[in-house]
Structure 1
Amino acid sequence: MSTLPVSRYPVPELANLPADIRDKILAVQEKAGFVPNVFLTLAHRPAEFRAFFAYHDALMEKDEGLTKAEREMIVVATSGANNCLYCVVAHGAILRIRAKNPRVADQLATNYLKAEITPRQRAMLDFAMKLALDSGAVGDEDIAAVKAHGFDDEAVWDIGAITAFFAMSNRLANLTGMRPNDEFFLMGRLPKG
Structure 2
Amino acid sequence: MPSALTPDTAVGASRDLLADLVSRHGSIGDMVATMAHSPAVLGGYLQLSQAMGRAKLDRRISERISVALQVQQGCGLCLDAHVDAARALGVAEDEIERAREGTSADPAIAAIIALALRIHREPTSITDDQVAALRAHGYSDRAIADVVGVVVLNVLTGAFNLLAGLTPGNEGGTGAQ
TM-score normalised over the length of structure 1: 0.74
For residues 97 and 145 of structure 2, the distance between their equivalents in structure 1, rounded to whole angstroms, comes to: 26
Residue in structure 2 matching 1:112, options 79, 83, 102: 102
For residues 25 and 100 of structure 1, the distance between their equivalents in structure 2, rounded to whole angstroms, comes to: 30
Task: Return closer, same or farther for 1:99/1:164 CA change in 2, 3 Å cut-off.
Answer: same
Task: Return closer, same or farther for 1:156/1:100 CA change in 2, 3 Å cut-off.
Answer: closer
Task: Return closer, same or farther for 1:155/1:107 CA change in 2, 3 Å cut-off.
Answer: same
Contact 1:62 1:68 in 2 (8 A): no
Q: SS of the residue aligned with 1:44?
A: coil
Listed as ranges, the matches of 1:27-106 within 5 Å are: 27-28=24-25, 30=26, 35-59=28-52, 61-62=53-54, 64=56, 66-102=57-93, 104-106=95-97
For residues 182 and 11 of structure 1, the distance between their equivalents in structure 2, rounded to whole angstroms, comes to: 12
Contact 2:62 2:150 in 1 (8 A): yes
Question: Which sections of structure 2, spanning at least 5 residues, go unmatched?
Answer: 172-177
Contact 1:75 1:88 in 2 (8 A): yes
Residue in structure 2 matching 1:24, options 18, 21, 24: 21
Identity of aligned residues (%): 20
For residues 173 and 72 of structure 1, the distance between their equivalents in structure 2, rounded to whole angstroms, comes to: 18
Task: Return closer, same or farther for 1:25/1:105 CA change in 2, 3 Å cut-off.
Answer: farther
2:51 aligned partner, one-letter code? A
Residue in structure 2 matching 1:159, options 130, 144, 147: 147
State the Cα distance separating 1:26 from its structure 2 match.
4.8
- Residue 131 of structure 2 corresponds to residue 143 of structure 1: yes
Q: SS of the residue aligned with 1:174?
A: helix
1:62 aligned partner, one-letter code? R
Instruction: Give the structure 1 partner of residue 115 of structure 2.
Output: 127
Task: Return closer, same or farther for 1:96/1:27 CA change in 2, 3 Å cut-off.
Answer: farther
Instruction: Give the structure 1 partner of residue 166 of structure 2.
Output: 178
State the Cα distance separating 1:48 from its structure 2 match.
1.9
2:49 aligned partner, one-letter code? H
Instruction: Give the structure 2 partner of residue 10 of structure 1.
Output: 3
Contact 2:78 2:158 in 1 (8 A): yes
Q: SS of the residue aligned with 2:37?
A: coil
For residues 35 and 154 of structure 2, the distance between their equivalents in structure 1, rounded to whole angstroms, comes to: 14
State the Cα distance separating 1:37 from its structure 2 match.
2.4
